[in-house]
Structure 1
Amino acid sequence: MLQVFTGSWALFVGMFMLMVGNGLQGTLLGLRGDQEGFSTLALSIVMSAYFVGFLFSSRYTPELIRRVGHVRVFAAMGSLISAVLICYPVLLEPWAWTIGRVIIGFCFCGVYITAESWLNNAATNENRGKALSVYMIVQMAGIVFAQWIVSRGDVSGYTLFIIPSVMVSLAFAPVLLSARPMPAFETTKRMKIKDLIAASPLACFGMFMLGGVFAAQFGMSAVYGNRVGLTVGEISFFVSAIYVGALVLQYPIGWLSDRMDRRFLIIGLAFIGGAGSLVAYFITDNFAVIVFSGAVVGGMSNPLYALLLAYANDYLDKEDMAAGSGGFLFVNGVGAIAGPLIVGRMMDVIGNSGYWLFTAVLMLAIGAYGLYRMTQRPRADLDMEVVPYAPVSAASTPIVAEVAQEVYIEAGEEDEAIEPA
């Protein structure tokens, strides 16, 4: 793994700084918006707007790169991100922040796609899986470090908005000055949603539900923390716990997924995540419980994304795996757009604990649907070969998803297609 990092250190350093910038603006807007008197509905719209931009970018940025090239897209989108981040504390209006979040979501997805295409080009068949692991660690580390920065600054001032702008600008230097050549850019067309549902209804349903869970974690955690009276430092610690849980549990869960019926593991993770949410729903005034529940839900939901992707690939021919990844990203993105809007409404109607009830319902629904699917078509996994688990974040772009598909394909060249569940 060290060899992978040293071989592509510029890309990883640049990505780390990008994730610091993105992690800062996500938490910071929730805190500052609440301080400025934005309603829960207004903040939920602002948070949802990021995923609208991200979803559209995952579809249109590849075409933009083919037309004008990696460098121009990278530079243009980076400049827009820096400009929008500086404008946030100047334009303290929900409508302005909503527009800014759409732009930010579109541009962050665009720069991720550009950087990740370089990473994919730099990786070899032998180290692609390790490169994916290092990439995920860098992503999580950047977000966690961003929370530490938030805890050390003044939310009401301008400095915390300038820092992510600077971090994003600096992130381009190691990537653009890297000696790596410009990669050829090609993406695979998505499979139709109905074909994905036919291949694995459980994976499609789970991806949609997880989109809402992830959006609540990424967009509304700081809002929830502020509303229940946590300090800025406590909120930063709480948000960090979500991603630390994901990082720590990703690999043990991946190890288990290659050695047991994945449906049992999917159901177990979903129910554990739902139970963790219910604990915080019923015990609302204990900071330790809030942090524990955040770590449990983050530790279950993020690996569950990669697990569902691997599970779906058990039922796809290898030539369809890359195409399937785009469809699953779209399903997950639609769920992510709806997530902040629904959780914001629940917090208005039933109180701040609606944040936890929302994630509990979604996680428990995945587990319940998994049990239902097992009654529809039993599966004898003990006698079949399955594709290996690959660590993929719920914030993936089409490039990372396709890198994961290449890991699956290369490890399962001789696997036979399996009948749909």
Structure 2
Amino acid sequence: MIKVLSGVWPLLLGIVLIMLGNGMHFTLIGLRGAIEDFSSAQLSIITSGYFLGFLSGARFTPVLIRRVGHVRVFAALGSFMSAGLLAFPLLTDPWVWTVLRIIVGFCMSGIYVAAESWLNNASTNDTRGKVLSAYMIAQTLGIIGAQYLLTFGDAATNVLFIGASILVSLSFGPILLSATPAPITEVAPPMPLRNLFKSSPLGTLGIFLLGSIYATQSGMGAVFGAQIGMEAGQIAFFIAMLFAGALLMQYPIGWLSDRMDRRTLIFGAAALGASACILSMLTDYNQWWLMAAAFFAGGVTTPLYALFLAYTNDTLPAEDMAGASGGLVFTFGLGAIIGPMVTGFAMEWLGPYAFWLVIGLTFVTIAGYALYRMTQRAVVPVDDTDSYLNVLPTTSMVAVEAAGDWAIENAEQEAEAEETAAG
């Protein structure tokens, strides 16, 4: 593993720095928005703006890269994002913040596409799985570390926004100085949603609902914490627990995914997430129980994303997997745009604990639909499934397609090894 990372560590360092800055900004929006007396509904629209920009960036960045190249696109988008982070405390208006969030989301999506293209180009068939795993860990650690950095300043001032901007600017150094010319970024066109739903109803509906959960957790979690009277440090710890759970639960769930009916595992993970939400609503503001609920509710969200990708691929021929993955990523993005707004308006009407209510009901819907689909389609034998795709909701289609290619190659190698052993 050390040998594999020796060639890509500058890229991974740059990713950590980007995630530190982006992770700070996500929580800061909730903290500063509460200070500015923005309503839950306004903050939910601001949150959804990021995911609207992110979805747009995933669509248009490959076109920009083909026109002017990876380096120029990465540098330009990074500069715009850094400037956008500085503008938030200077222009404290909810509609201006929505526009800024769209811009930051677009830039962040483009940065992922460029960075992942370099990372994919720097790996081989033999090392791609390990490189992708290291990339996912670097992303998650960056988000968790960002919450710790928030304790060094006051969200009411400009300091933390400036710090986030500096971290994003610093990330350019290791990435641009180490990046080699990358191939033209080509991603498969997404499969039409009608065809995608026909091929995998559970994968399509499940990942749409999961998009709403992920965006609500990451975007509205700080809003919830502020509304129930948490201090800034407690809110930062609450958000960190959402992602710490994802980091620690990804691999056990991935291990189980390759050894059992994935629909059963989807049901179990969603049921665990729903139980955590119920726990949070019954604790009467006990913060340690809230942290435990965040750990488990956040802990199953990221693995479920990878599970839905892997489960959908199980039902498709290899030539359709890239298009299906593109369709799923797009569907996830639609859910991520809608989910925070539904939650924000629910919090406006029902109070802050509507945050857990909406997430819990969404988990219940996923679990119930997984049970229903078990009665509609025969189980795919474990030996006929591809490897679990260790990818995060924050990645672009470049990483998703690379993970899919690795899964196919891994399955082919295992089949060849079995044939050789049998012969």
- Structure 2 CA distance for aligned equivalents of residues 282 and 118 of structure 1: 47
The aligned counterpart of 2:418 is: none
Structure 2 residue 308 is matched with structure 1 residue 308: yes
TM-superposed deviation, 1:380: 5.2
- Aligned pairs for 1:9-88 (under 5 A) are 9-88=9-88
The aligned counterpart of 1:236 is: 236
- Structure 2 CA distance for aligned equivalents of residues 193 and 317 of structure 1: 17
- Kindly report the root-mean-square deviation, in angstroms, between the aligned alpha carbons of the 2 structures: 1.3
Cα contact 1:152–1:233 (8 A) shared by 2: no
- Structure 2 CA distance for aligned equivalents of residues 89 and 414 of structure 1: 53
- Structure 2 CA distance for aligned equivalents of residues 139 and 150 of structure 1: 17
TM-superposed deviation, 1:390: 2.1
- Structure 2 CA distance for aligned equivalents of residues 4 and 312 of structure 1: 30
TM-superposed deviation, 1:230: 0.6
TM-superposed deviation, 1:179: 5.2
Q: 1:73 to 1:87 in 2, by over 3 A?
A: same
Q: Identify the range of structure 1 (44-53 vs 393-402) with the bigger mean alpha-carbon deviation.
A: 393-402
SS in 1 for 2:352: coil
The aligned counterpart of 2:284 is: 284
Which amino acid counterpart does residue 206 of structure 1 have in structure 2? G
The aligned counterpart of 1:375 is: 375
- Structure 1 CA distance for aligned equivalents of residues 381 and 266 of structure 2: 14
Residues 309-340 of structure 1 show CA distances to partners (whole Å, capped at 9, x for unaligned) of 11111011111111111100000000000011
Cα contact 1:77–1:111 (8 A) shared by 2: yes
Which amino acid counterpart does residue 411 of structure 2 have in structure 1? G
The aligned counterpart of 2:387 is: 388
Residues 90-138 of structure 1 show CA distances to partners (whole Å, capped at 9, x for unaligned) of 1011111111000000000001110000001111100111111101100
- Aligned pairs for 1:264-283 (under 5 A) are 264-283=264-283
Structure 2 residue 366 is matched with structure 1 residue 366: yes
TM-superposed deviation, 1:403: 1.1
SS in 1 for 2:327: helix
Structure 2 residue 188 is matched with structure 1 residue 188: yes
Which amino acid counterpart does residue 340 of structure 1 have in structure 2? P
Q: 1:364 to 1:235 in 2, by over 3 A?
A: same
Q: 1:196 to 1:414 in 2, by over 3 A?
A: farther
SS in 2 for 1:177: helix
The aligned counterpart of 1:123 is: 123
- Structure 2 CA distance for aligned equivalents of residues 373 and 154 of structure 1: 49
TM-superposed deviation, 1:250: 0.4
SS in 1 for 2:375: helix
TM-superposed deviation, 1:72: 1.0
- Aligned pairs for 1:106-145 (under 5 A) are 106-145=106-145
Which amino acid counterpart does residue 403 of structure 1 have in structure 2? A
Cα contact 1:129–1:404 (8 A) shared by 2: yes
Q: Tell me, which stretches of 5 or more residues in structure 2 are unaligned?
A: 416-423
- Structure 2 CA distance for aligned equivalents of residues 179 and 249 of structure 1: 32
TM-superposed deviation, 1:365: 0.5
- Structure 2 CA distance for aligned equivalents of residues 25 and 340 of structure 1: 17
- Name the TM-score, length of structure 2 as normaliser: 0.96
The aligned counterpart of 1:419 is: none
- Structure 2 CA distance for aligned equivalents of residues 299 and 15 of structure 1: 21
Cα contact 1:228–1:352 (8 A) shared by 2: yes
Structure 2 residue 223 is matched with structure 1 residue 220: no
TM-superposed deviation, 1:4: 2.4
- What is the aligned-residue identity percentage? 47
Cα contact 1:20–1:142 (8 A) shared by 2: yes
Give the count of matched residue pairs. 415
Which amino acid counterpart does residue 402 of structure 1 have in structure 2? E
The aligned counterpart of 2:407 is: 408
SS in 2 for 1:376: coil
Cα contact 1:208–1:331 (8 A) shared by 2: yes
Cα contact 1:24–1:146 (8 A) shared by 2: yes
TM-superposed deviation, 1:182: 2.8
Residues 143-173 of structure 1 show CA distances to partners (whole Å, capped at 9, x for unaligned) of 0110001122111111101011111111011
Cα contact 1:281–1:354 (8 A) shared by 2: no
Q: 1:391 to 1:414 in 2, by over 3 A?
A: closer
TM-superposed deviation, 1:377: 2.2
Q: Tell me, which stretches of 5 or more residues in structure 1 are unaligned?
A: 417-421
- Name the TM-score, length of structure 1 as normaliser: 0.96
- Structure 1 CA distance for aligned equivalents of residues 14 and 377 of structure 2: 46
Residues 48-97 of structure 1 show CA distances to partners (whole Å, capped at 9, x for unaligned) of 10000000111111111111111111111111111111111110111111
Cα contact 2:204–2:328 (8 A) shared by 1: yes
TM-superposed deviation, 1:305: 0.5
- Structure 2 CA distance for aligned equivalents of residues 22 and 324 of structure 1: 28
- Structure 1 CA distance for aligned equivalents of residues 355 and 282 of structure 2: 12
